[in-house]
Amino acid sequence: MQYVLSVMSCDHPGIIAEVSSAVDRLGGNINSCSQTVLGGYFTFITIIDLPKQYTTEKLTQEIQFSGGLGSDYRVIVQPYEFKVADPEHSVASKPADETFIITAFGQDQPGIVKQFSRYLADHDINITDLYGDRNGDEFVLIGQLTMPANINIGNIRDDLEEIGKEFGFTVKLQHNNIFVATNQLRLVE
């Protein structure tokens, strides 16, 4: 049985070790995961396989208390059910999507994330990963986007740059392969 497991707490070393140990004690396996620390708060979301079925309440207790996490952790569990929100957007009904990276930076002001995310949603572009951070008066936003294969990338790029100009932001949209190739770290021996 598969579950989505999410854990949040104040950040400190050893949280992933504790969560993965709890999953292991239940005979489970972590299939995929994503973790970040934001403003001193640790968040971890994962999809796990377990050999038997649990109610969400029982599994939450098993992970939180038998796993040694304790009450300082916020644990949320739900059954994993891959669903397509709209059958029209089913993978089988359209050409393969493309992955792009958007970077935007400039002076922080309210509404930045809202403007970009609203535009993307209105054009059926999915945000699969997003990072934003304010440092002093500056704000940086980096997102991984899944673009429909039949979308005009030039128009999207122009529109995003125009939104950026309205906010005084520099915006760059690159195909994931180009982003990785141009930002790859090379180790010098």
Average pLDDT over residues 7-26: 90
Predicted confidence at residue 14, as pLDDT, reads 85
Average pLDDT over residues 132-159: 92
Identify which of 73, 79, 83 has the alpha carbon closest to the alpha carbon of residue 59: 79
- Sheet of 29-38, strands arranged across: 29-38, 41-49, 2-10, 74-79
Domains of the chain, earliest start first? 2-79 (3.30.70.260), 93-183 (3.30.70.260)
Q: Is the pTM of this model over 0.85?
A: no
Average pLDDT over residues 22-32: 92
The answer to whether residue 130 scores a pLDDT higher than 80 is yes
Predicted confidence at residue 178, as pLDDT, reads 75
Cα gap 30→23, rounded to integer Å: 8
Predicted confidence at residue 62, as pLDDT, reads 87
How far does Cα 149 stand from its chain's mean position? 21
Helices (H) and strands (E) in the chain, counts: 5, 8
Which band of pLDDT confidence, cut at 50, 70 and 90, is reported for residue 100? Answer: very high
Instruction: Indicate the angle between helix axes 153-167 and 112-122, nearest 10 degrees.
Output: 160
**What is the 3-state secondary structure of 17-52?**
HHHHHHHHHCCCEEEEEEEEEECCEEEEEEEEECCC
> Angle at Cα 36 formed by Cα 49 and Cα 128, nearest 5°?
75
The answer to whether residue 1 scores a pLDDT higher than 70 is yes
Q: Are 174 and 153 in contact (CB under 8 A)?
A: no
Average pLDDT over residues 18-24: 90
